[in-house]
Structure 1
């Protein structure tokens, strides 16, 4: 999987950081998923190497403007371009009425299939939100001033590497038989030989997992959702010395994000959703927040707009 940060500021954009948006490029398919869509996100797409026409799913964490004001414009532009095959949208209960109201009031016509999914029940009951051939998506409620949700995308365990050399040595014809063996199935050949696919495959390979979490005060639910993930993207709106503000406004500090990463035993933490009060040149800067997080969780990284990360599973037999 590849993550691209399209907006990493909280509340309002700055010269260096737009408001919240993160794109996920999926493995082995020409498909993008978008997490949050703050104002100006479609402009960020134009400045990146991403293709908006590949967008298939949008996940909204909550209905505050810095996470959702860019969505109507982005959807309308896709409609005018005429190159979308359809989009599924996931988010809080008010998402549907918000989009319906904006589109109707502005006389905007999307012109491609859309479906809006409410995630509240899945989050509250801890059930799977999406289950396709390759990926699982789960979510959990956050502790914020309005209903908000974190999302986990997890690639399913993949079969082990196929032993091509062994198959060739046994004079097995390539084609559908190879595919069946790689799936671990038993195969009866026309000459009477029977082979078990398990004998031709190495150990199963773990998939990649990422968690997107913003906005929330420290949350035990996020720890459970993020447990063992390869990447945790977590808001760090405030520095540790501003914890009173964090509690008041229901946001996380850099140390809360790091504590979550440590307790969840994730592989890497990326801090995002930074308050403009820590802009370079001020007494405290984003690097100070990063250093606070690293003191608790050393494998921490500071997000910036257009940063791209290739996420690999923590253990790979290849």
Structure 2
């Protein structure tokens, strides 16, 4: 198991909490993909992906479900979005005062949610009645949209036909890029250009590499292309040793390299940022 990182705790600025740094295969300390962005600690929460266990991990991280106002989905593989349906069910519970919610993701997101009724019954879908959907057509060109607390930018990763990587540039300073699942796609590195933090998937060791996922070397090369301040390796399968992955990534990226673990917290405000994405 990787040694525990000494990570910066947010002291009032925007923060990013890792809710799941692993894969669909069980591994202690590494749940399925989920990340929480708080532009203002204690304020509204945006989730980036919502794999199984994300809602429980939110509670363990001290994040209130009632603070969740937006979810950004990278793609429709279950290790990245299954807890959407748990959330829909929770939102129908009379003991929960569900806040307004916005769901952002690839084209087909609303159909994906509504189609679950055939397998799961009507309750999860009812939980999303009145929810605002914003769907993005995956493209090899970076697209951006301004929100109240940050600018979101995205580009296709080609992990699947719908897969997207995402970047948030905070209105108060700081930036974070999340690769989602990807192979070694140069535009993902371009999306992360000068990003303060680049959370980059690192699924398999070199000898088990797959074309639609990254190895440590691939993550290092993308980070070098991005010239980001800090590379944070994440999305580890059990076969990928995080400490060994850091050593391999460092052969290509000479900046700071950290290892994501569940419920590690990163302060975003005040990090190095460039011009962002246009």
TM over 0.5, yes or no? Answer: yes
The residue aligned with 1:269 is: 231
Aligned pair partner of 1:151 in 149, 156, 166: 166
- Which structure has more helix as a fraction of its residues? 1
TM-score (norm 1): 0.74
- After superposition, the Cα gap between the structure-2 partners of 1:28 and 1:305, relative to the gap in structure 1 and judged at 3 Å, is closer
Q: What's the CA shift for 1:112?
A: 6.2
The residue aligned with 1:215 is: 181
Are the aligned partners of 2:39 and 2:149 in contact in 1 as well (CA < 8 Å)?
Answer: no
Are the aligned partners of 1:141 and 1:149 in contact in 2 as well (CA < 8 Å)?
Answer: yes
The residue aligned with 1:131 is: 146
SS in 2 for 1:270: strand
Aligned pair partner of 1:251 in 213, 218, 229: 213
Any unmatched runs of 5+ in structure 2? 1-13, 274-278
The residue aligned with 1:95 is: 109
Are the aligned partners of 1:209 and 1:313 in contact in 2 as well (CA < 8 Å)?
Answer: no
Q: What's the CA shift for 1:102?
A: 2.0
Q: What's the CA shift for 1:27?
A: 2.8
Are the aligned partners of 2:176 and 2:198 in contact in 1 as well (CA < 8 Å)?
Answer: yes
Matched, 1:40 2:57: no
The residue aligned with 2:15 is: 2
- After superposition, the Cα gap between the structure-2 partners of 1:125 and 1:227, relative to the gap in structure 1 and judged at 3 Å, is closer
In 2: Cα distance, 1:76 partner to 1:146 partner: 28
Matched, 1:86 2:100: yes
The residue aligned with 1:227 is: 193
Which deviates the most, 73-82 or 38-47? 73-82
Aligned pair partner of 2:136 in 119, 123, 127: 119
Matched, 1:71 2:84: yes
In 2: Cα distance, 1:53 partner to 1:142 partner: 31
SS in 2 for 1:277: coil
In 1: Cα distance, 2:218 partner to 2:272 partner: 27
SS in 2 for 1:35: strand
Q: What's the CA shift for 1:106?
A: 1.5
Are the aligned partners of 1:290 and 1:301 in contact in 2 as well (CA < 8 Å)?
Answer: yes
Q: Deviations over 1:249-272 (max 9, x none)?
A: x10011111111111111101111
SS in 2 for 1:224: helix
The residue aligned with 2:276 is: none
Q: What's the CA shift for 1:239?
A: 1.6
Q: Deviations over 1:278-304 (max 9, x none)?
A: 3xxxxxx22111221123224111111
The residue aligned with 1:187 is: none
SS in 2 for 1:275: coil
Q: What's the CA shift for 1:13?
A: 2.8
In 1: Cα distance, 2:203 partner to 2:272 partner: 31
Any unmatched runs of 5+ in structure 1? 159-206, 279-284
Q: Which has the higher contact order (CA 8 A, sep 6+)?
A: 2
In 1: Cα distance, 2:142 partner to 2:157 partner: 13
In 1: Cα distance, 2:117 partner to 2:19 partner: 24
In 1: Cα distance, 2:196 partner to 2:98 partner: 31
Are the aligned partners of 1:32 and 1:54 in contact in 2 as well (CA < 8 Å)?
Answer: yes
- After superposition, the Cα gap between the structure-2 partners of 1:49 and 1:146, relative to the gap in structure 1 and judged at 3 Å, is same
Are the aligned partners of 1:84 and 1:112 in contact in 2 as well (CA < 8 Å)?
Answer: no
The residue aligned with 2:68 is: 55
In 1: Cα distance, 2:146 partner to 2:160 partner: 30
Q: What's the CA shift for 1:103?
A: 4.2
Q: What's the CA shift for 1:140?
A: 0.2
TM-score (norm 2): 0.84
SS in 1 for 2:143: coil
